Structure 1
Amino acid sequence: MSTKRVGIVGLGVVGQRLIKEFKSNSQIEIDAVCDVNEQLAQQTASECVGVIALTDYQELVSRKSVDIVYVAVPPAHHHTVVLSSIEHGKHVLCEKPLANSRLEAQEMLKKAKQGNIVHAIHFPLPYNAPFTTMKKLIENQELGEILRISIKMHFDVWPRVWQQTPWIGTREQGGFIREIMPHYLQMIVHFFGKVVDTKAHVDFPDDVEKSETGLIATLTLANGLQVLVDGLVGQAEKEKIAFTIHGTEQTISLEDWRVVKKAHRGEELTVVEPADLIPSNVNLIDEFVKATTGEEAFLIDFEEGLLVQEVLETLHNSGNQA
């Protein structure tokens, strides 16, 4: 299989994280990197060796040598960069959430389909053992009847101390609803199907520039299953994130991204040791390359991203807008 050349737009924390995966993948070569911060672009290009540094994404997406564009700019700019990439015939891997609105996401999906473009979103959880383990338990009906799903997202401060970017605490495109919740919404729609009804109350601070501080929501899926969502910023407790599927035979919970806990009826949730999880046999970069060559691949595409986007928009438009 011939190597694919990738151009990377956006070199922040998330973009840098996936660069390491690109560099370690024998099927990928990094062709060019782009960021409005010229010093960062030059530094990243130097670290990648033999890579072009750019500050204008249009220059990157128009390069004939680029096969794939990885879009890692803030969400408000996904739509513009993705559409430009599609117009130039590039396959697109985009950061989550897919867009900054339902209409943007719809157009991105439509254009990608029209252009016969391979399109995917960088959701890391589906390529890891907790996801694979949960999926197997659901498929084998080992949880029994699933009664409810719950999502807890509690933060003592937002943005987190290590996450001080200009946009992630803004109402325009930041907040935990857009930054954290998509990971778990993706798992829900992937495992159980579309969200058909959303009832929510969202609290916003008096400062109209700042993102939400609270969320209480009930999501109803097409199969009737309900999801309870509890989001809070500012409480004293250490940050806690948990995605839990409650069944009549077993309950399984993914806590703080990596820790899987499980309980049988009448038992307390206890940690499942990593060695006892079902490992994933797929890798996002490998799967994306396979898709570009016409092979069947496991990707979270723009269609699934649109289902997530619809919920995000409904949530964000609910409640106490200052």
Structure 2
Amino acid sequence: MSATQETWFDQPLVFTIADRHVRGRLIRLGPVLGTVMAAHSYPPVAEKLLAEALVLTALLGSTLKGEDGQLTLQAQTGGGPIELLVCDYKDGELRGYLKFDAERLAEVGADPTLFALFGEGFLAITFDQASAERYQGIVPLEGASIGEAAEHYFEQSEQIPSLIKIAARHDAEAGCVAGGLLLQHLPEGEVGRDRLHVRHDHPEWAHARTIAETLRDAELTDPATSLETLAWRLFHEDEVRVERGRFVSRGCRCSIDYFAGVLSKFPEGERREMADEAGLVNVDCAFCSRIFPISLDEIAAHGGSA
């Protein structure tokens, strides 16, 4: 069994506690974080924030049904040093990046609050599936962490009592490691059932939440502890059904072919204005930190006139 299988890096554990009408997901990201971070040179504070946001994106994205959905998470500043945070999940592929003011970020210290990073910003979570209507919820960036801000999203936008715990750290051997737990209460214990009778003070939910809140950051990020072990430690008094979710990989859909197709939709005059003296349109991908030079001829080949 590989190290990834033993530690369950980059693969969610999906579990349900039927008797308490609770569902949940655990995930620990390792190699995929290393791949994402390798494309950038973020300071530790920014790297930790992005790692936590990627965990949240993977937790939420893994709830999508089918293979045609995309989950996008965007946090935007309200005057803080973090100007923009964007992550998305599609077909098991995860990506993300940050835009920030380096000088101001250096002033917030090693363990800043969410307000110190964003000011009075907002968090937007978008579920987009081809088989269903696109849905977006926007909430203020409130709470001690981006996980707590996402809890507000579920309370306000979906009326689902939820608990989200996220932790990230730098491991000497594994590099950047981050883990997360998403726990939710479902009335009648089934996905898709009527949510009119959801109560945040329901005794079953209160019991499950109290137990889940004992989960420590060190456990979430410990590569030596499998996610199945964590679920057993927390809920061994109940019958817990578990299954492995889909592996998560770093994915960037950027390519010359993709960008050429997008640029071909612009009028010819605008494309020529975008091009440099060599006749190249240089597209900068913030996700993979690469510049894609695309010739006007390549763009024309996708349907735009030369």
TM-score range, shorter chain: 0.3 to 0.5
Larger CA Rg, structure 1 vs 2: 2
Larger RCO (alpha carbons 8 Å, 6+ apart): 2
Normalization by structure 1: what TM-score?
0.32
